[in-house]
Protein backbone atom coordinates (compact mmCIF):
# COMPACT_ATOMS: atom_id res chain seq x y z
CA UNK A 1 0.00 0.00 0.00
CA UNK A 2 2.71 2.49 0.99
CA UNK A 3 4.63 1.67 -2.18
CA UNK A 4 1.64 2.44 -4.41
CA UNK A 5 1.02 5.69 -2.53
CA UNK A 6 4.68 6.67 -2.90
CA UNK A 7 4.61 5.74 -6.60
CA UNK A 8 1.46 7.79 -7.14
CA UNK A 9 3.09 10.78 -5.46
CA UNK A 10 6.23 10.46 -7.63
CA UNK A 11 4.93 9.50 -11.07
CA UNK A 12 1.19 10.10 -10.85
CA UNK A 13 -1.58 7.78 -11.96
CA UNK A 14 -0.03 4.85 -13.82
CA UNK A 15 -3.41 3.98 -15.36
CA UNK A 16 -3.67 7.38 -17.05
CA UNK A 17 -2.67 6.94 -20.72
CA UNK A 18 -1.66 10.61 -20.84
CA UNK A 19 0.91 10.08 -18.08
CA UNK A 20 4.24 10.30 -19.91
CA UNK A 21 6.17 8.91 -16.93
CA UNK A 22 4.47 5.53 -16.87
CA UNK A 23 6.49 4.09 -19.78
CA UNK A 24 9.75 4.98 -18.01
CA UNK A 25 8.43 3.69 -14.68
CA UNK A 26 7.42 0.28 -16.06
CA UNK A 27 10.59 0.00 -18.15
CA UNK A 28 12.94 0.78 -15.27
CA UNK A 29 10.95 -1.34 -12.82
CA UNK A 30 11.22 -4.35 -15.15
CA UNK A 31 14.98 -3.88 -15.55
CA UNK A 32 15.52 -3.31 -11.82
CA UNK A 33 13.55 -6.47 -10.99
CA UNK A 34 15.55 -8.44 -13.57
CA UNK A 35 18.88 -7.42 -12.02
CA UNK A 36 17.62 -8.21 -8.53
CA UNK A 37 16.42 -11.66 -9.63
CA UNK A 38 12.73 -10.99 -9.06
CA UNK A 39 11.48 -12.96 -12.09
CA UNK A 40 7.79 -12.65 -11.26
CA UNK A 41 7.93 -8.90 -10.77
CA UNK A 42 10.08 -8.48 -13.87
CA UNK A 43 7.44 -10.42 -15.80
CA UNK A 44 4.66 -8.22 -14.33
CA UNK A 45 6.36 -4.94 -15.25
CA UNK A 46 7.51 -6.46 -18.52
CA UNK A 47 3.89 -7.17 -19.46
CA UNK A 48 3.13 -3.52 -18.77
CA UNK A 49 6.00 -2.58 -21.08
CA UNK A 50 4.62 -4.89 -23.76
CA UNK A 51 1.27 -3.15 -23.58
CA UNK A 52 2.93 0.23 -24.04
CA UNK A 53 5.67 -0.30 -26.60
CA UNK A 54 6.29 -3.93 -27.58
CA UNK A 55 5.96 -3.19 -31.30
CA UNK A 56 7.96 0.04 -31.19
CA UNK A 57 11.26 0.37 -32.99
CA UNK A 58 12.89 2.74 -30.51
CA UNK A 59 15.89 1.70 -28.43
CA UNK A 60 13.74 1.46 -25.28
CA UNK A 61 11.62 -1.21 -26.90
CA UNK A 62 14.66 -3.28 -27.93
CA UNK A 63 16.26 -3.03 -24.48
CA UNK A 64 12.97 -4.08 -22.87
CA UNK A 65 12.74 -7.05 -25.23
CA UNK A 66 16.27 -8.13 -24.31
CA UNK A 67 15.60 -8.09 -20.57
CA UNK A 68 12.22 -9.77 -21.00
CA UNK A 69 13.86 -12.45 -23.14
CA UNK A 70 16.56 -13.04 -20.52
CA UNK A 71 13.95 -13.12 -17.77
CA UNK A 72 11.84 -15.59 -19.74
CA UNK A 73 14.85 -17.88 -20.14
CA UNK A 74 15.17 -17.87 -16.36
CA UNK A 75 11.48 -18.72 -16.02
CA UNK A 76 11.82 -21.57 -18.54
CA UNK A 77 14.63 -22.98 -16.40
CA UNK A 78 12.20 -22.87 -13.46
CA UNK A 79 9.55 -24.65 -15.60
CA UNK A 80 7.19 -21.67 -15.36
CA UNK A 81 4.77 -20.96 -18.24
CA UNK A 82 7.21 -22.61 -20.63
CA UNK A 83 5.27 -22.14 -23.89
CA UNK A 84 4.51 -18.47 -23.23
CA UNK A 85 8.11 -17.79 -22.23
CA UNK A 86 9.47 -19.63 -25.28
CA UNK A 87 7.47 -17.24 -27.46
CA UNK A 88 8.85 -14.22 -25.58
CA UNK A 89 12.39 -15.58 -26.09
CA UNK A 90 11.71 -16.17 -29.80
CA UNK A 91 10.44 -12.61 -30.29
CA UNK A 92 13.26 -11.12 -28.20
CA UNK A 93 15.94 -13.04 -30.11
CA UNK A 94 14.50 -11.97 -33.46
CA UNK A 95 14.35 -8.36 -32.26
CA UNK A 96 17.99 -8.50 -31.07
CA UNK A 97 19.11 -9.93 -34.41
CA UNK A 98 17.32 -7.10 -36.22
CA UNK A 99 18.75 -4.52 -33.82
CA UNK A 100 22.29 -5.97 -34.08
CA UNK A 101 22.07 -5.83 -37.89
CA UNK A 102 21.36 -2.09 -37.58
CA UNK A 103 23.54 -1.24 -34.56
CA UNK A 104 26.15 -3.90 -33.95
CA UNK A 105 27.98 -2.06 -31.16
CA UNK A 106 24.79 -1.67 -29.12
CA UNK A 107 23.01 -4.99 -29.64
CA UNK A 108 25.42 -7.70 -30.80
CA UNK A 109 26.33 -8.69 -27.23
CA UNK A 110 22.64 -8.94 -26.31
CA UNK A 111 21.85 -11.07 -29.36
CA UNK A 112 24.76 -13.44 -28.67
CA UNK A 113 23.84 -13.77 -24.99
CA UNK A 114 20.22 -14.63 -25.81
CA UNK A 115 21.49 -17.19 -28.34
CA UNK A 116 23.90 -18.73 -25.83
CA UNK A 117 21.31 -18.93 -23.07
CA UNK A 118 18.68 -20.41 -25.40
CA UNK A 119 21.13 -22.95 -26.79
CA UNK A 120 22.28 -23.89 -23.29
CA UNK A 121 18.74 -24.99 -22.43
CA UNK A 122 18.90 -27.79 -24.98
CA UNK A 123 22.63 -28.45 -25.17
CA UNK A 124 23.66 -28.77 -21.56
CA UNK A 125 26.49 -31.10 -22.47
CA UNK A 126 27.85 -29.39 -25.57
CA UNK A 127 30.16 -26.58 -24.35
CA UNK A 128 31.97 -26.53 -27.69
CA UNK A 129 28.81 -25.10 -29.25
CA UNK A 130 27.62 -22.85 -26.41
CA UNK A 131 30.77 -21.31 -24.90
CA UNK A 132 31.85 -19.46 -28.08
CA UNK A 133 28.53 -17.58 -28.04
CA UNK A 134 29.07 -16.55 -24.42
CA UNK A 135 32.62 -15.46 -25.28
CA UNK A 136 31.38 -13.42 -28.26
CA UNK A 137 28.81 -11.72 -26.03
CA UNK A 138 31.44 -10.96 -23.38
CA UNK A 139 33.88 -9.53 -25.91
CA UNK A 140 31.21 -7.48 -27.69
CA UNK A 141 29.97 -5.99 -24.40
CA UNK A 142 33.56 -5.22 -23.39
CA UNK A 143 34.28 -3.44 -26.69
CA UNK A 144 31.08 -1.43 -26.39
CA UNK A 145 31.74 -0.45 -22.78
CA UNK A 146 28.67 -2.22 -21.37
CA UNK A 147 30.37 -3.41 -18.18
CA UNK A 148 27.08 -4.58 -16.62
CA UNK A 149 26.19 -6.70 -19.65
CA UNK A 150 29.75 -8.02 -19.82
CA UNK A 151 29.30 -9.09 -16.19
CA UNK A 152 25.93 -10.63 -16.99
CA UNK A 153 27.39 -12.67 -19.87
CA UNK A 154 30.29 -13.81 -17.64
CA UNK A 155 27.84 -14.76 -14.88
CA UNK A 156 25.63 -16.76 -17.24
CA UNK A 157 28.68 -18.47 -18.81
CA UNK A 158 29.94 -19.34 -15.33
CA UNK A 159 26.58 -20.80 -14.34
CA UNK A 160 26.50 -22.81 -17.56
CA UNK A 161 29.98 -24.19 -16.87
CA UNK A 162 28.95 -25.17 -13.34
CA UNK A 163 26.00 -27.04 -14.86
CA UNK A 164 28.26 -29.04 -17.15
CA UNK A 165 30.81 -29.61 -14.37
CA UNK A 166 33.58 -27.47 -15.86
CA UNK A 167 34.39 -26.01 -12.44
CA UNK A 168 37.72 -24.36 -13.27
CA UNK A 169 36.20 -22.54 -16.24
CA UNK A 170 33.13 -21.65 -14.16
CA UNK A 171 35.33 -20.04 -11.51
CA UNK A 172 37.17 -18.07 -14.19
CA UNK A 173 33.92 -16.69 -15.65
CA UNK A 174 32.40 -15.95 -12.24
CA UNK A 175 35.53 -14.07 -11.14
CA UNK A 176 35.30 -12.00 -14.32
CA UNK A 177 31.62 -11.34 -13.55
CA UNK A 178 32.46 -10.23 -10.01
CA UNK A 179 35.13 -7.85 -11.35
CA UNK A 180 32.66 -6.37 -13.86
CA UNK A 181 29.99 -5.90 -11.21
CA UNK A 182 32.53 -4.25 -8.88
CA UNK A 183 33.47 -1.79 -11.64
CA UNK A 184 29.78 -1.20 -12.33
CA UNK A 185 29.26 -0.47 -8.64
CA UNK A 186 26.68 -3.17 -7.91
CA UNK A 187 27.35 -4.46 -4.40
CA UNK A 188 24.22 -6.62 -4.67
CA UNK A 189 25.49 -8.51 -7.73
CA UNK A 190 28.99 -8.81 -6.24
CA UNK A 191 27.49 -10.38 -3.11
CA UNK A 192 25.38 -12.79 -5.18
CA UNK A 193 28.42 -13.88 -7.21
CA UNK A 194 30.47 -14.45 -4.06
CA UNK A 195 27.87 -16.84 -2.59
pLDDT at 132 over 70: yes
* Average pLDDT taken over every residue of the chain: 87
Q: How far apart are CA 92 and CA 90, in angstroms?
A: 6
* Among candidate residues 150, 74, 140, the one with its CA nearest the CA of residue 104: 140
**What pTM was computed for the model?**
0.88
pLDDT in tens, 145-162: 999 999 999 999 999 999
Considering the chain, what percentage of its residues have pLDDT values greater than 90?
Answer: 63
pLDDT at 4 over 70: no
Sign of the dihedral through C-alpha 90, 94, 95, 100: positive
Contact of 34 with 70, CB cutoff 8 Å: yes
pLDDT in tens, 32-86: 999 999 999 998 888 887 777 655 557 778 888 899 999 999 999 999 889 989 9
Q: Please give the distance of CA 38 from its chain centroid, rounded to a whole number.
A: 12
Q: How far apart are CA 178 and CA 174, in angstroms?
A: 6
Phi, psi of 135, rounded to the nearest 5 degrees? -60, -40
Exposed / middle / buried, residue 158 (Cβ in 10 Å: 0-12, 13-18, 19+): buried
Amino acid sequence: QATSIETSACVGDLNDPKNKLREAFFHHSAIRCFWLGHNGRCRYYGKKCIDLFWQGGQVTSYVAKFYLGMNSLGLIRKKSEVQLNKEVVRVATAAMKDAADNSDWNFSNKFRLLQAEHLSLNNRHCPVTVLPLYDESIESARKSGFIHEQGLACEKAGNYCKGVLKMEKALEYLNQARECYEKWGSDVKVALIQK
